[in-house]
Amino acid sequence: MRRIIPFIIIVLIIISAITTATSAVYHDVNRDGKFNISDITAIQKYRVGLNNKIDFDAADINSDGAVTIRDATYGQMILAGIILEEETTVAETEMKMFINDTPVTVEWEDNESVASLKESVKNNPLMIQMSMYGGFEQVGALGITLPRNDTRITTQPGDVILYSGNQMVVFYGSNTWGYTRLGRISDKTQDELTKLLSNGSVTITITY
């Protein structure tokens, strides 16, 4: 009987440890049992030296072995429903684009502008606040300046365009102007693009 009691205690300890591990909340950076905006704030404070009491493994949202501002951005995107948790790993090799929370497939151009855009979003996803313009496009400031090689282009629905080096334009209609082409949305029809882009301002998110 004396041998059975210690064995039961050991089993209970193991079960408790397993239960605790499996019930842990993914990305619970501040260890409060929830994943919310306070965890993003904890990462941001850690980055500027204001908070060292974080769960490092939980804070490494993109699993690259470091806690960076990119983890905070990815956390915000997960909370907003823009991306899923499995889409945050650093194994991604291609740029992805979202219109609000809708992923779209873009056939990116092979040019200096796109290469520079890729470099810009490698360390931090880019979120662009867009506005409707002219009844045929959404336009927004990139917050960065990209190399440009403007030519006179008559755009088609789905075209992703660089304008003036520092603005992105996504078309659901057509226009003729001097632009640098970045790519083209290939998995949406004109009707689908119109539904996505013609009902008010949207947020474009580009990740790598």
Asked whether the domain spanning 96-207 has the same topology as the one spanning 4-87, the reply is no
Tokens 């951005």 appear where? 73
Instruction: Give residue-wise pLDDT tens across range 113-142.
Output: 999 999 999 878 899 999 999 999 999 999
Contact between 142 and 168 under an 8 Å Cβ cutoff? The reply is yes
Mapped onto helix, strand or coil, the DSSP state of residue 187 is coil
The one-letter amino acid at 57: D
Instruction: Give residue-wise pLDDT tens across range 79-89.
Output: 887 766 666 55
CATH of region 4-87, choose from 1.10.10.10, 1.10.645.10, 1.10.1330.10, 3.30.465.10: 1.10.1330.10
Above pLDDT 90, what percent of the chain? Answer: 50
Instruction: Give residue-wise pLDDT tens across range 54-70.
Output: 888 888 887 777 787 77
Please state the domain extents for the chain.
4-87, 96-207
CB under 8 Å to 86, separation ≥6 — which residues?
none
Instruction: Give residue-wise pLDDT tens across range 23-38.
Output: 356 788 888 888 899 9
Contact between 83 and 71 under an 8 Å Cβ cutoff? The reply is no
Predicted local confidence at residue 86, as pLDDT: 60
Instruction: Give CA–CA dist 68/60, Å, rounded.
Output: 8
Q: Which top CATH class is 96-207?
A: mainly beta
